[in-house]
Amino acid sequence: MRIPTGLAAAAIAAALSQLVLAVPASSAPPVEAFANLPLVRGMQISPDGKYVAVIQPIDGRPVVTIYDLTAPGAKLHSVGLQEASAEEVSWKGDRLICIFRSNRKEEFSKHIYQWTRAISVTPDAQNAVLLMHDLPFLRGNPYGSLITDLAPDDPTHVYIAVWVTNAELENSAPRNYDQQFLNLFRVDVNTGNSEMVAHGESHTIDWIMDGHGHPIGSVEQDQDLNNHIMVAGKDVGTYSTKGGSELTFEGWTDEAKPSLVISKAGSTGRSGLYRYQLGTGVGAALFANPTYDLNTALIDPNTQKVIGASYVDDKVEFNYFDPAIEKMQQQLEADLPGQSVALLSWDSAMSVVTLVADGPQQPPVYYIFRPATGKLSVFAAAYPNLTTADLGVKKPYPYKSGDGLDIHAYLTLPPGRDPHNLPTVILPHGGPEDRDDMNFDWIAQFLANRGYVVLQPNFRGSSGYGWDFISAGDGEWARKVQDDVVSGVKKLIADGISDPKRICIVGASYGGYMALAGATFSPDLYACAVSYAGISDVESLYYTGSAFDSEGASVWKRRVGVDLAGATPADDQSPSRHADRVKAPILLIHSDKDVTVNIEQSQQEESALKSAGKSVEFVTLEGDDHQLTYAVTRIRFANEIQRFLAAHIGN
């Protein structure tokens, strides 16, 4: 998809988007209309309301583009980093902080690691500085926690926590046996220079900031995976993280006397937001839904305070603590009925607001809203070459599993087709602690457009429905979790929607495991299977060669059921250990720079299937990662699936 160059003016973007969305489809759109990277995401407005920064693809790679709202038609300014993709943008006063990520290979060991860096620039994309450039041996930062505190009260500094050795602090080459410490740095956004303000202890895993640039405590993790909250050298709170953390620090409330905010499971087993007092513990609930888990804490883009919460019913719902913001949210939802409306950013005066809305048959559209006048203007459509006529009807499709458990699922029907005896794709999500919903899903809609019924089941182990539902999947990957999916397939057949001889299971990551497990443990049900970055050998997910058990390994052990009485042994849950059972052809796809699920998982499955004399294809996506970050590989991914499905279940 060619990136329009005249998108600088919001009015032009609005006219273009409205025109494209209104034109009925005359023929099936090309693969690129679905599989190309979204034209816009991560929209953030500057505190003065003059500029909007977005992440959009140029030559198939995500970069940051800055628009001047005061000068329609002005030259666009873009910020990129060689061999890296833009991941996140945020404003720090009159400068923009852009975070870039890439997966890289060690020169000698060939080990793949994730590398992140932050760049600060002015709105004209000039005066760019690499944050922390004065630590030359700092190769990367822990992704997801790069900036610890934006410190809104400080006009020139942010705080960054990074793992670094003492040798690196002294600008010496680190050695393999040097211990890394999570240290806290004060970084000047104008120069990029850093100053260490706190040195972590041997077991420091997190810093607790007050939102004003002051570290008030740290989190220390012992070998039993208990986290200790340390303030002034005293342990003021302890909680377990074995098998998954009991609580997560989210930030501070936006009040005269702010409270520390955590997320944790409440008395109903559903997670919510709670006040937390250091030394006292969990306090009153700020948000708790009796039916659904917390989805995210909502953060004010300027103050960085917690101002609300979201959860997922059939679509994502948003609740704000401030009555004025909540009223605006409800007004926008009324203006965009049936869609999930997410506020993204606003200027310091809250005179200009950016938001995105999407729905089952509505790809994401980005808007600019002016509360004083109530004017809502389209900025850009994320998938401008798709029309409503191209998309299938998506609806809830609840059913019961074999043991009577209620399963929430979603069915997308091919546009313009009678939903009777059709080829079908079962599309389990990744995670497994994730879930599907009614919001726009490009891959589900792509498959529906190509003539397939698409079922997306939220099997046990999925998030959103409480801890009991999540834990019900532990140790049941090859048994009850599979039965949850099989029960949905049987209902589709019983309802006359699906042709029982033309059903394929397709998934990515844990969904890829589900596809391989489906073809292996329910071999007569599926005509084919496609696994992208799927898990084939369950035991290799966790490391058992040391007395020390990492938090991540403990989570996977819980999921697999290593210490759970009656759980299926890891070998019996591993598709690659039972390749002889497979009857259907299998397509394996994997990116060669995947650090989430190593490509060896697919290589092992391919080897096992070939040794068993089974039909298998293997496609390697070169240079990409687990998330399919680049357009060329995402498009190839979709093309390979389209080709394989057409060959084995028609369209």
The answer to whether position 49 is within a domain reads yes
The answer to whether position 136 is within a domain reads no
Exposed, middle or buried: residue 612 (CB in 10 Å: 0-12, 13-18, 19+)?
A: middle
Q: Do residues 352 and 412 share a domain?
A: no
Tell me the mean pLDDT in the region 573-595.
96
Q: Dihedrals φ, ψ of 306, to 5°?
A: -75, 120
Tell me the mean pLDDT in the region 488-506.
98
Give 135-194 pLDDT, tens digit per residue: 877 655 544 457 889 999 899 999 999 888 888 777 777 676 778 899 999 999 999 999
Four-CA torsion 148, 150, 153, 154, nearest 10 degrees: 90
Tell me the mean pLDDT in the region 430-437.
94
Residue 13: per-residue pLDDT: 37
Tell me the mean pLDDT in the region 35-62.
96
Give 91-103 pLDDT, tens digit per residue: 999 999 999 998 8
Residue linked to tokens 């809250």: 350
Measured CA to CA in angstroms, residue 388 lies from 361, 425, 436 at distances of 6, 21, 21
The answer to whether position 34 is within a domain reads yes
Instruction: Please state, in angstroms and rounded to a whole number, the distance separating the CA atoms of residues 14 and 25.
Output: 20
Q: Do residues 582 and 437 share a domain?
A: yes
Q: Do residues 344 and 445 share a domain?
A: no
Residue 488: per-residue pLDDT: 98
The answer to whether position 9 is within a domain reads yes
If one compares 599 and 562, the residue with the highest pLDDT of the two is 599
Share of the chain above pLDDT 70, in %: 92
Where a domain ends, among 386, 419, 441? 386
Where a domain ends, among 368, 386, 404? 386
For the chain, the domain total comes to 2
Tell me the mean pLDDT in the region 632-651.
96
Least confident of 95-104, 402-411, 557-566, 596-605: 557-566
pLDDT band at residue 1 using 50, 70 and 90 as cut-offs: very low
Q: Do residues 88 and 8 share a domain?
A: yes
Q: Is the pLDDT of residue 547 over 50?
A: no
Instruction: Please state, in angstroms and rounded to a whole number, the distance separating the CA atoms of residues 461 and 432.
Output: 6
Instruction: Please state, in angstroms and rounded to a whole number, the distance separating the CA atoms of residues 416 and 56.
Output: 32
Residue linked to tokens 């997410």: 342
Cα–Cα nearest to 118, from 107, 109, 138, 137: 138
Q: Do residues 380 and 515 share a domain?
A: no
Range of the domain at 121: 1-126+340-386
Where a domain ends, among 331, 362, 386? 386
In the predicted model, what is the mean pLDDT of the chain? 90
Contact status, residue 380 vs residue 398, Cβ threshold 8 Å: no
Q: Is the pLDDT of residue 467 over 90?
A: yes
Residue 88: per-residue pLDDT: 93
Q: Dihedrals φ, ψ of 536, to 5°?
A: -115, -25
Q: Please, what sign has the CA dihedral across residues 320, 321, 322, 326? A: positive
Q: Do residues 413 and 473 share a domain?
A: yes
The answer to whether position 166 is within a domain reads no
Q: Do residues 365 and 396 share a domain?
A: no
Instruction: Please state, in angstroms and rounded to a whole number, the distance separating the CA atoms of residues 445 and 448.
Output: 5
Q: Do residues 471 and 614 share a domain?
A: yes
The answer to whether position 299 is within a domain reads no
Residue 225: per-residue pLDDT: 92
What share of residues in the chain are helix, strand, coil (percent, to 5)? 20, 35, 45
Instruction: Please state, in angstroms and rounded to a whole number, the distance separating the CA atoms of residues 482 and 263.
Output: 30
Tell me the mean pLDDT in the region 392-418.
97
Residue 16: per-residue pLDDT: 31
Measured CA to CA in angstroms, residue 491 lies from 182, 267, 408 at distances of 51, 34, 13
Instruction: Please state, in angstroms and rounded to a whole number, the distance separating the CA atoms of residues 379 and 483.
Output: 45
Give 199-243 pLDDT, tens digit per residue: 999 999 999 999 899 999 999 999 999 999 999 889 999 999 998
Instruction: Please state, in angstroms and rounded to a whole number, the distance separating the CA atoms of residues 635 and 35.
Output: 5
Give 342-368 pLDDT, tens digit per residue: 999 999 999 999 999 999 999 999 999
Q: 10 Å Cβ neighbour count for 258?
A: 17
pLDDT band at residue 128 using 50, 70 and 90 as cut-offs: very high
Tell me the mean pLDDT in the region 463-480.
95
Residue 141: per-residue pLDDT: 56
Instruction: Please state, in angstroms and rounded to a whole number, the distance separating the CA atoms of residues 240 and 243.
Output: 9
Q: Do residues 382 and 419 share a domain?
A: no
- Which pTM does this prediction carry? 0.92
**What amino acid is encoded at 523 in this protein?**
P
The answer to whether position 258 is within a domain reads no
The answer to whether position 230 is within a domain reads no
Q: Do residues 410 and 494 share a domain?
A: yes
Q: Do residues 418 and 493 share a domain?
A: yes
Residue linked to tokens 């979790």: 481
Q: Do residues 572 and 446 share a domain?
A: yes
Give 239-294 pLDDT, tens digit per residue: 999 988 889 999 999 998 999 999 999 888 999 999 999 888 999 999 999 999 99
